Amino acid sequence: MNNGSTLGNGPLRGLRVVELAGLGPAPFCGMLLADLGADVVRIDRRDSPGGLVGTLGLPSVLDRGKRSIALDLKDPDDITVAHALLARADVLLEGFRPGVMERLGLGPVPALAANPGLVYGRMTGWGQNGPLASLAGHDIGYVALSGALGAIGRPAEVPTPPVNLLGDFGGGAMFLAVGVLAAVLHSRATGEGQVVDAAIVDGTAVLSTMLHGLLATGDWVDERGANLLDTGAPFYDVYRCADDRFLAVGALEEKFYAELLTGLGLADDPTLPPREDRARWPLLRSRFADVFATRSRARWWEVFAGTDACVAPVWSLSEAPLDSHNVARGVFVEVDGVVQPAAAPRFSRTPGAAGAIPTVGQHDQAIRAEVGIA
C-alpha cells in the first residue's frame, strides 16, 4: 500500500519535469518518469471539473506520483509562475496541437532562451509538421496511417484496433520517454537543450520495423492472418475452451510444438497434418480447435502449466492481478485503493514505485515556494 508520497527514490531522482495537463500518451510518459523517481510537476487547469486530475475530471492512475499546481495560462501572473517552473526544469512535456504552446508564450524559443539546457518534449499524433499536423486525430487513425493497423486481424475480416496500446502508449509515450531521456544525457554532457518531436505515427511505424524487414525478404506477406505471428499459423493463435474462455498458443519452435501436441494428446496421431504444410494449416487449426473445445480453460491450464508448450490463459483485466506468476513478481500493486500495474522495469539499486494520485492544485504552495513566488 502506498503511503501517499509523490517523490520516489528511483534512478531518475533529482530530474525535474514539468508536464502540461493533457490526455493519454503525454501523461503516461510523465507517469513513467515519476515511477522512476523524477519530480514531475503537472500544471493543471485551475477550472478542472471536480477538482481532480485526469480524463473528464476523474482520478487517473496516469497521474500517479506527480505533484499538481493549478494555473490559468491566460492569466499573466500564472504565466509568470509557468515561466519560473520552466526556467528551473530539466524537461518539459506537452501534448497540445502544434502552435498552442507558442500562442501561450511558452513555446520552445522563449523556454530555451531562458533555460538553454531544457529538453522540450512534444507529444502529438501527426507530428509538428506535415499536411496532417494541425488536424485532430486519435490513436486509431495514427495506427492506421502507420500501416500497423492493416496488419492486425483475421483474414478477410476488418482490421482489429489493439485498444490504444500500440499507438498512444507504445508508439507515442514510450518513444517520447526514450527521446526525452536521450536528450537529457546530451544536455548534461553539453549544456544544450533541444526539442523532442515525438509523433505517434512515427513511433508506431518504427514498431513495425521487423515486419518491413521480413516483407522485403519475402518472409512476410502483406495480408492479415497469413503469417507466423499474426494468427496465420495454427500453432500461434488463440483458441476457445469449453467454458467460452480462451488460451493463447505460441509454440513456434519444433521442440515447443512437440510439447503442445503432447498436452493435446495428439503426439502419436498419424492423421495430424505436418506443421510445415501451409496448405493444410486450416485442417491443423480445426483439429486444435476441436480438442481445446473439450475442456475448460482452467483444466487446460492444469495440463500446460509448468511446460514449455508456450500456452497461456487469456486473463481479463480483472483476472490478471490474481495470476500466481503476477502475484509472485508483484506485477500489480494497490495504491490508494486502486489495483494497477507496478512500476517497470526493475532496478537492483534504485527501485521505482507507483505513487499517489494528486488532486488539482494539491501542491500549489510548496511549488510556488520552490520557484520563489508567493
| Domains of the chain from N-terminus onward | 16-208+331-370 (3.40.50.10540), 236-320 (3.30.1540.10)
pLDDT per residue over 1-33, tens digit each? Answer: 343 445 568 999 999 999 999 888 999 999 999
pLDDT per residue over 100-117, tens digit each? Answer: 999 999 999 999 999 999
Instruction: Let me know: does 353 contact 38? Beta carbons within 8 Å.
Output: no
Q: Which of 168, 202, 230, 237 is catalytic?
A: 168
The amino acid sitting at 19 is E
Residue 47 above 80 pLDDT? no
Gap between the Cα atoms of 148 and 154, Å rounded: 14
Say whether 83 is catalytic: no
Q: Which of 75, 138, 212, 290 is catalytic?
A: 138
pLDDT > 90 fraction of the chain, expressed in percent and rounded:
90
Residue 57 above 80 pLDDT? no
The three grid cell numbers given for residue 361, joined into one nine-digit string: 492544485
Instruction: Let me know: does 21 contact 92? Beta carbons within 8 Å.
Output: no
Gap between the Cα atoms of 99 and 193, Å rounded: 20
Instruction: Let me know: does 238 contact 249? Beta carbons within 8 Å.
Output: yes
Model pLDDT, residue 374: 77
Say whether 138 is catalytic: yes
Instruction: Report the pLDDT averaged over residues 302-316.
Output: 97
Residues in contact with 94: Cβ distance below 8 Å, sequence separation at least 6, in sequence order: 19, 20, 22, 26, 101, 121, 122, 123
* Between 200 and 56, residue with greater pLDDT: 200
